[in-house]
Structures are given as C-alpha cells and as structure tokens.
A = this chain, B = another copy of it.
Amino acid sequence: MSTHHYYQLQGYFRELIELKTLKSGSKLPSEREIGEQFKLTRVTVRQALQNLEAEGLIYRQNRKGWFVTPPAVIYNPSSHLSFNLYVTEQGFLPHTEKLMQQIEPANAYIAQLMNIAESAPVLYLHRRRYINQRPVLIEKMYINLNLLPGIEKEDLTQSLSQLLKNNYQREYRDMDLVFKSTSLPSSAANELGISAGQPGLHIERINYTDDKQVLEVDYEFWRHDAVNINIAIRD
C-alpha cells in the first residue's frame, strides 16, 4: 500500500506543504509537469492530487490549476457572531455577493416552521460568501417577513444579524442545526467552482427569536476545506 506511486506523490507534496516550501495559496506545477518529473501518467498524478484535495491540503480552480489550501476559518454557531465578524476576527477578509433575492410563496416545510399560511410570502435570499477572495460558501435562506417587514428593501449583502439588531431590535438566539458531510448539490458546486463529486459540508440552520418564533431558515453549502465547526455544549 505505502509503495503505490500515487501514495508516494501525496507524501511528497504533503511534506512540501507542511514545511511551507509550498506556501498557502501558491500554485502547484501542472499535472503534465509533475507526471514528467516522476515518470507517471496523468491518471496517477490526478489520483494523488484528488486525495490531497479530499484531505483539504490543496484545491483546484477550474482549468487554472491546483493551489495550496489556505487555513480554515473556525465557525462557532453558538457564539452568535456574524460571518463578517468571525472571519475578520480570525485575520481573514470576508466578502458577500448577492446572487438572487425575491419574495416568493412559502413551501409547506417553511410555512409550517414559520407558522404562516402555505403560500404566504417569504423572502428568499441567495448569496455567495468569500474569504480572502476565495468563494467558500453558498447560502440560501428563507426569511420571515411577518417578523421583519420591509427587510427586502435593505442592502442584503450586509450582515443580517447587524441588520436585525439595528433596524428591528432583534437578535439571533436559539438555533437548530443539522450538519451533513456530503458532496454539494451541483448548482452550489458550480457557484463555488468546485468540480462535481468533491466533498462538501452542508449545514441547515433554523434561527429562532427570543420568543421562539422562526426568524429564518438557512441552508449553507461550504467548501469542506474552508471551515471547522466548534461548538460548546453547556446545559
């Protein structure tokens, strides 16, 4: 096992990355160059690279090349910090892009959660979020317009928790969270520039107000190598 060619190649690059000879964000040689250097075919080179990708050490940009993965951000849902805040606090540069926004009728699941009629309007918001220019997260959310009337007129690239606090005197409190490690839906993978079949992290989050109403339902699709989850459970 340890003698396989792809395995040795993984070890070679893993060492270069750990020693910082290959620095975070830098580009690897092309697959053909690596193959030439080690007398391997592209198939074998790609297997090694794909394994390192699954490990989270490198990632690819579609048809541009392979790059060393930058450090992951730590996401602690129980801290109630906004994306902008915790990313900034950890020394990274956050950025948010709105891909779509529309008022639409609630589906059965959302309506039931929000305790509204089954086609009552909710605000659907679809965003892409970046850390240091790298797209890491697709967010699709459904926002309760009964609790947050007029929110659709605000600038929805900003932090929602800030907006809630400043304009509605509301804050995130209780949450229900579901985590799944699975490949991303192809739409989200495309929007992140991830090739199909790569692993991802899927988070579903229900945010409640302090009086137990559902403020927002959130679906997050993360690059698996961009985030670690920390949670403290205190009863």
Q: Is there an interface contact between A56 and B182, defined as CB atoms closer than 8 Å? A: yes
Can you list 25 residue pairs at the A/B interface with Cβ under 8 Å?
A7-B196, A51-B196, A54-B183, A56-B182, A72-B180, A77-B233, A78-B233, A174-B235, A175-B233, A176-B230, A176-B231, A176-B233, A177-B230, A177-B231, A178-B228, A178-B229, A178-B230, A180-B228, A181-B181, A181-B199, A181-B224, A182-B224, A182-B225, A231-B231, A231-B233
Does A32 lie at the interface of the complex (its beta carbon under 8 Å from any beta carbon of B)? no
Q: Is there an interface contact between A183 and B55, defined as CB atoms closer than 8 Å? A: yes
Q: How far is the CA of A179 from the CA of B179 in the complex (A)?
A: 9
Q: Is there an interface contact between A177 and B224, defined as CB atoms closer than 8 Å? A: no
Question: How many copies of this chain?
Answer: 2
Q: Knowing A43-B43, A56-B182 touch, does A173 contact B51 (C-beta < 8 A)? A: no
Q: How far is the CA of A43 from the CA of B44 in the complex (A)?
A: 12
Q: How far is the CA of A200 from the CA of B178 in the complex (A)?
A: 16
Does A232 lie at the interface of the complex (its beta carbon under 8 Å from any beta carbon of B)? yes
Q: Give the shortest distance, in Å, between A230 (CB) and chain B (any CB).
A: 5
Q: How far is the CA of A182 from the CA of B58 in the complex (A)?
A: 12
Q: How far is the CA of A15 from the CA of B228 in the complex (A)?
A: 33
Q: How far is the CA of A223 from the CA of B155 in the complex (A)?
A: 41
Closest B residue to A78 by CB, please name it.
B233
Residues on A lying within 8 angstroms of B by beta carbon are 7, 43, 47, 50-51, 54-56, 72, 77-78, 173-183, 196-201, 224-225, 228-235
Q: How far is the CA of A201 from the CA of B201 in the complex (A)?
A: 10
What residues on B are CB-neighbors of A54 within 8 Å?
182-183, 197-199
What residues on B are CB-neighbors of A56 within 8 Å?
182-183
Closest B residue to A48 by CB, please name it.
B197
Q: How far is the CA of A86 from the CA of B77 in the complex (A)?
A: 24
What residues on B are CB-neighbors of A72 within 8 Å?
180
What residues on B are CB-neighbors of A231 within 8 Å?
77, 176-177, 179, 231, 233
Q: How far is the CA of A235 from the CA of B78 in the complex (A)?
A: 8
Q: Is there an interface contact between B176 and A232, defined as CB atoms closer than 8 Å? A: yes
What residues on B are CB-neighbors of A234 within 8 Å?
174
What residues on B are CB-neighbors of A198 within 8 Å?
54
Q: Give the shortest distance, in Å, between A174 (CB) and chain B (any CB).
A: 5
Closest B residue to A55 by CB, please name it.
B183
Q: How far is the CA of A197 from the CA of B53 in the complex (A)?
A: 8
